[in-house]
Amino acid sequence: MPYLDHAATTPMYSEVAALMTKMLTDAGNPSSLHSSGRRARRLVEEAREQVAAVLGARPAEVVFTSGGTESNNIALKGIAWDQRKNNPKRNRIIISSVEHHAILDPAHWLNESEGFELNYVPVTNTGLVTPAALAQVINGDFDSVAVVSIMLANNEVGTVNDIAALVDVIRGTGIRFHTDAVQAPLWLEINFEKLGTCALSVSGHKVGGPHGVGAIIMSRDCSVTPLIHGGGQERDVRSGTLDVPAIVAFAKALEISVAQRELQVKKISKLRDDLVAQVKSAVPDAIYNGELTSRLANNAHFTFPGCLGDSLLMLLDAQGVECSVGSACSAGVPQPSHVLLAMGADEDSARCTLRFTLGHNSTEQDVTALIKELPGAIERAKRAGVPKTLASVGEK
């Protein structure tokens, strides 16, 4: 079955699965002092060193979590709370208008439940956040901002932001900068030190590792208020018994990803370009969304006018082709993509999208299967039509 949804999750590398499976029966709590505990602790610290080396960080800056969502929540809530505790004037949170819901939702919660002011940075019609746009939102009032969070690469349209340039806008002001880099490690070189952010989130199942594990990379001067209290593991940032097999597998997957990245980017970007060209040929009115050059190598995102994205997804799935609409659904009612809305699309167009994302095991046969089934799915979806907009998203 052609699988074209690697941005949602990418299959584990076979050697990673074998390594994790072998470790599942090993005893040892890394917080214990006996031999099994010390062995488990050594494996965790070796994994920490691997992750740090891959991401251009120091081992002490790596905090293991359950994945990207927890890492993002620690960054946004933990930093915002800590900043305001130390300086009550720092009561603003700034995020881009195209963030993942793992940033959008905690930001909304901090605004509604904790009284933080929430500001959004607009994006260009290709989904790019510019330093000028960030500076305009800050409006010279640096002392009021607690944290800025802008993603490195967008999960829907694949647009890549120049995080180092955005960090320059707030450098030396006391504002903390976090970036959600969950989509990036397979396709982009990441150097935490050079980016200059206070914190950075990554996730295991996006890089050929297991679900349920990830990390937040935090500079040593980045202080957070913990979300979880308990045994004080992971620098008192994230208490809880560490999942040693998952952590070791995650570190191994990152290591493999970096070793293969150059070849994979070359192979997958060519396959992606072929997919884009064939989709445009098969469906002439298809609209290709996002940046043309500053873009993840595996991402192809389209608007198909007159075709509800959810209908297309199910029609393709019935023919064995798996992809994503790249938007949220609530109670069975299709919602327009907040990313497309932020990029200037109208609500009906923002509900007519599909995201195709490739990965390390993608092939030309996957693309061929998509192109074979897509025109028929388009024809059937157009006959069904697009219902008039029923609701709009609240993230604007």
* CATH code where residue 306 lies: 3.90.1150.10
Distances from the Cα of 304 to the Cαs of 2, 85, 322, 349, in angstroms? 20, 48, 17, 8
- pLDDT greater than 60 at residue 114: yes
Q: 294 near 159, Cβ under 8 Å?
A: yes
Are residue 230 and residue 183 in the same domain, yes or no? Answer: yes
Q: Which of 256, 280, 306 is the last residue of a domain?
A: 256
- pLDDT greater than 80 at residue 121: yes
Are residue 252 and residue 305 in the same domain, yes or no? Answer: no
300: left (phi over 0), alpha (psi -120 to 50) or beta: beta
Predicted local confidence at residue 133, as pLDDT: 98
CA distance 154 to 128: 9
- pLDDT greater than 90 at residue 110: yes
Q: Which of 2, 43, 51 is nearest to 207 (CA)?
A: 51
CA distance 274 to 367: 8
Helix (H, G, I), strand (E, B) or coil at 96: strand
The single residue of 198, 307, 329, 352 carrying the catalytic annotation is: 329
Angle 364-384/244-282 helices, nearest 10 degrees? 60
Residue 394 belongs to some domain of the structure: no
Are residue 201 and residue 125 in the same domain, yes or no? Answer: yes
Are residue 365 and residue 345 in the same domain, yes or no? Answer: yes
Predicted local confidence at residue 390, as pLDDT: 47
Residue type for 233, please?
Q
* Residue found by looking up tokens 């509900």 in the block: 351
Are residue 201 and residue 311 in the same domain, yes or no? Answer: no
- pLDDT greater than 70 at residue 327: no
Distances from the Cα of 290 to the Cαs of 67, 129, 344, in angstroms? 26, 12, 12
Q: Which of 221, 256, 291 is the last residue of a domain?
A: 256
Residue 1 belongs to some domain of the structure: no
CA atoms within 13 A on the CB side of 261: 16
> Could you give phi then psi for residue 319, rounded to 5 degrees?
-100, 10
Residue 198 belongs to some domain of the structure: yes
CB burial class (10 A; 0-12, 13-18, 19+) of residue 74? buried
End-to-end CA distance of the chain: 37
Predicted local confidence at residue 72, as pLDDT: 98
pLDDT band with cut points at 50, 70 and 90 for residue 395: very low
Residue 245 belongs to some domain of the structure: yes
Residue 315 belongs to some domain of the structure: yes
Residue 393 belongs to some domain of the structure: no
Helix (H, G, I), strand (E, B) or coil at 201: strand
Predicted local confidence at residue 384, as pLDDT: 82
Are residue 92 and residue 115 in the same domain, yes or no? Answer: yes
CB burial class (10 A; 0-12, 13-18, 19+) of residue 387? exposed
Q: Where does 196-298 have alpha helices with state H?
A: 244-282
> Structural domain tally of the chain?
2
CATH of the domain at 20: 3.40.640.10
Are residue 249 and residue 108 in the same domain, yes or no? Answer: yes
Average pLDDT of 351-357? 96
The mean of the pLDDT values for the chain is: 94
Predicted local confidence at residue 187, as pLDDT: 98
Are residue 180 and residue 110 in the same domain, yes or no? Answer: yes
Largest CA distance in the chain: 67
Strand partners, 301: 289, 355
Predicted local confidence at residue 392, as pLDDT: 40
Give the rounded percent of residues in the chain with a pLDDT score beyond 70: 95
Q: Which of 222, 256, 290 is the last residue of a domain?
A: 256
CA dihedral 73, 194, 12, 265 (to 10 degrees): 130
Range(s) of the domain holding residue 148: 14-256
Token pair recorded at residue 88: 């009550």
CA distance 195 to 199: 10
Are residue 235 and residue 275 in the same domain, yes or no? Answer: no
CB burial class (10 A; 0-12, 13-18, 19+) of residue 326? buried
Are residue 123 and residue 161 in the same domain, yes or no? Answer: yes
CA triplet 233, 51, 129: central angle to 5 degrees?
Answer: 100
Residue 3 belongs to some domain of the structure: no
Helix (H, G, I), strand (E, B) or coil at 362: coil
Are residue 250 and residue 340 in the same domain, yes or no? Answer: no
Are residue 134 and residue 246 in the same domain, yes or no? Answer: yes
Token pair recorded at residue 359: 């990965």
Predicted local confidence at residue 335, as pLDDT: 81
Does 352 qualify as catalytic in the annotation? Answer: no
- pLDDT greater than 80 at residue 389: no
Residues 6+ apart with CB under 8 A from 16: 208, 209, 210, 249, 252, 253, 256
Residue 9 belongs to some domain of the structure: no
